[in-house]
Amino acid sequence: MLYKLHILSNESNTLGKAKNGTIVVISKLLEIDKLKFYLLIVVFLIAGSVAVFLTLYFSKIFSRLIVKVNYKLLVISIIVFILLMSLFLNGWIGLIVLITSTSIGLIAPLKGIGRNHSMGCLILPVILYFLL
């Protein structure tokens, strides 16, 4: 008896249509027999277990190092990096869009309202643009 990746494809089907084309291709290309299926499960469990222990080990190391980080310098560096990447990849127009979108994103917390309201204000014009 052959197992195709029905676990993934059945979870992603709605009304008989796959949501992800990759899952359809993989399920048609890969035919996994019972032994390989169980072997994959064992490999996934081992990899997950190793990842848990590595995460616990490295979290102890990084928790000691994180107190030495200068947060102000880190935040300024990240902001400058994002600005430079936007400028290099998109030019002046990208930088203007970045500054405008950041300003719009800061309006909600500065006015003390939820960000979901500003998201609704942004989504409605986009929907109308694509529908009309």
Residues 19 and 52 in one domain: yes
Q: Are 32 and 88 within one domain?
A: no
Specify whether 48 is located in the same domain as 91: no
Mean model confidence pLDDT for the chain: 83
**pLDDT number for residue 2:** 45
On whether both 55 and 76 belong to a single domain, the answer is: no
Give the mean pLDDT of 50-78.
Answer: 94
Sign of the Cα torsion 124, 127, 131, 132 reads: positive
CA angle 16–22–23, rounded 5-degree value: 50
Is residue 115 scored above 90 in pLDDT? no
pLDDT digit string, tens, across residues 1-48: 444 445 444 544 444 555 566 767 777 777 777 888 899 899 999 999
* pLDDT at site 46: 98
Domain limit, last residue, from 45, 68, 91: 68
Q: Are residues 95 and 36 in the same domain?
A: no
pTM for this entry: 0.50
Output the six-digit token pair for 65: 């190092």
Whether residue 71 is predicted with pLDDT greater than 80 in this model: the reply is: yes
* Interior angle at CA 59, CA 54 and CA 62, nearest 5: 125
Domain enclosing residue 14, as ranges:
1-68
**Averaged pLDDT, 82-108:** 91
Instruction: Please say which residue of 39, 68, 97 terminates a domain.
Output: 68
DSSP-derived pairing of the beta strands 31-33 and 2-4:
antiparallel
In a shared domain, residues 25 and 78: no
